Structure 1
Amino acid sequence: MDISTLVKLTSRAWSLNILALLHSGLPGRQAPLLAATNASRTAFTSSLAHLVQLGMIERNPGHGHPLRPEFRLTTTGRQAAEMAHSFVKTVPDEREFGILRKTWTVPILAMTGSPYRFSMIKSDLSPITDRALSSSLHQLEAQDWIRRDIVTSGRMPFPTYQAVNTGAAISRVVDLIL
């Protein structure tokens, strides 16, 4: 899985939760998945359709009703589901896991396993805007998942960002998959 696939995967709030639940053995029917995620029906349906579009899950042929299909992981989806399940083990608190549901959190943490400058993160995550990146970095810094250091060794001082604590653990999980 490359970084652009990771960005697409995390662009829907409940995608990681759905994959983690399927990996843990929860039946792939909509009702149990919806109940386990505590998501709104609209957000859940959007995330489910997005996972089907990405090829992470597929309808299980011969199972389920046409209006209430059953889903299963694809080969690509198994790898992403393993990663999502590792995230759930790393961040068991539901409030903190809510931060992982934000679009740019996981890709930023994946990039910052080693110190990275703002401009390098922005160029590697090309569709991200300055405002979205800045906001995400501030949020992760407030959560103590990213550390901001000022490098003064050069002519002009500049900040670098590096994942720490839980953020570093998440970055290591992504590194194993990427």
Structure 2
Amino acid sequence: MDIELLVNITSKAWALKILALLDSGVPGRQAPLLAATQASRTSFAASLSHLVQLGLLEKNPGHGHPLRPEFRLTPAGEAAASVAGRIMKIAPDDDAFAIIRRSWAVPILAVTHSPERFSGIKSGLGTITDRALSQSLCILEDKAWLKREIDVSQRAPFPVYHAANAGRKISHAIGLSH
């Protein structure tokens, strides 16, 4: 999975959980998925539609009612669902999932598999704003999923960030080609 796809998937709050549920064998009908995610109908529908637009899900032809279709993973979706399943196993509780559900948390962990400066993280993610990156770094650092250290080897000291604890496990589970 490349970083651009990961950023796109995580831009909707429930997309990772939907993919993980489909990977674990939950039926592709809306009612079981909605119940398993415990999301609001609106958020769930937006995430499901987003996954269809990304080409990770498709309507299962010949199954389900026209107003209540059944969905299945596409080949690209199967690979993404496998990654989502590994991520959800690392952070199964509601507190951890609240962090994962944030738009930039998982992509930041993916690019901090090795120590990175703020500018390196930002360039690795592309479209993130300084404010969003700074807020996400603080949240991940407070959760102890990201470690901030000051590199004093240069003339001007600067902070570097790298995934730690559960954040490191998530980074490895994503397995971006580095």
Bin of the TM-score, shorter chain as denominator length: over 0.9
Structure 2 segments unaligned to the other structure (5+ residues): none
> Contact 1:20/1:81 (CA < 8 Å) preserved in 2?
yes
Letter in 2 for 1:7: V
State the Cα distance separating 1:177 from its structure 2 match: 7.5
How many angstroms does 1:100 deviate by? 0.5
Contact between 1:83 and 1:177, CA under 8 Å: does it hold in 2?
Answer: no
Q: List per-residue Cα deviations over 1:136-169 (Å, max 9, x = no partner).
A: 0000000000000000111100000000000000
Aligned to 1:7: 7
Structure 2 CA distance for aligned equivalents of residues 112 and 85 of structure 1: 20
Q: Secondary structure at the match of 2:127?
A: coil
Partner in structure 2 of residue 151 of structure 1: 151
Aligned twin of 2:131: 131
Aligned residue in 2 for 1:43: 43
Contact 2:9 2:15 in 1 (8 A): yes
Retained in 2: the 8 A contact 1:55–1:74?
Answer: yes
Task: Answer yes or no: is 1:105 the counterpart of 2:105.
Answer: yes
What is the TM-score with the length of structure 2 in the denominator? 0.98
Q: Which runs of 4+ in 1 moved over 6 A?
A: none
Q: Is the 2:7–2:107 Cα contact (8 Å) retained in structure 1? A: yes
TM-score normalized by the length of structure 1: 0.98
1:78 match: 78
Change (3 A) 1:176 1:112: closer
One-letter code aligned to 2:53: Q
Instruction: Find the residue that maps to 1:108 and give its secondary structure.
Output: helix
How much has 1:125 moved relative to structure 2? 1.1
Question: Whole-Å Cα distance in 2 between the matches of residues 84 and 137 of structure 1?
Answer: 21
Query: Kindly, what percent of the aligned residue pairs are identical?
Result: 61
Q: Which amino acid aligns with 2:164?
A: V
Q: CA deviation at 1:85?
A: 0.7
Contact 2:147 2:161 in 1 (8 A): yes
Distance 1:124 1:133 in 2: 11
Q: How many residues align?
A: 178
Which residue number in structure 2 is paired with residue 55 of structure 1? 55
Structure 1, unaligned runs of 5 or more: none
Q: What is the aligned-residue RMSD (CA, Å)?
A: 1.1
